Structure 1
């Protein structure tokens, strides 16, 4: 389980464990907050293709799919 500090999530780097379409390395480019300032979701961008994906930021904790940093 990856440890994630929501305050440091923006611009953090991630590696997909099972890359699809040669998209292995990602960076968090945007975050969505609720009225109380809690993180709801984040937007990650693939470095190679510049494709963006919106996902629940808790999904990044799953070590079966994501690794912190670029490996």
Structure 2
């Protein structure tokens, strides 16, 4: 029973050490991820835009404005 407890503790310590090493290897920059709720939209259809911002650097940032432009172009009746 003592051997099992020893191995469980050892494995947990190794996992904890590995996560710390991986966290330190992240780049020191701001990572911005943007995605929508659907892959395709019809012209004029509403949708949701999700924005995730992760600051991994030592500096603080303040977001004042986010501007999103979607040029709606579609092929209707043989024309763009």
Scaled to the shorter chain, the TM-score interval is under 0.3
More relative contact order, 1 or 2 (CA 8 Å, 6+ apart): 1
For the pair shown, the structure with the greater C-alpha radius of gyration is 2
Larger % of strand: which?
Answer: 1
Richer in helix (by share): 2
TM-score, scaled to structure 2: 0.22
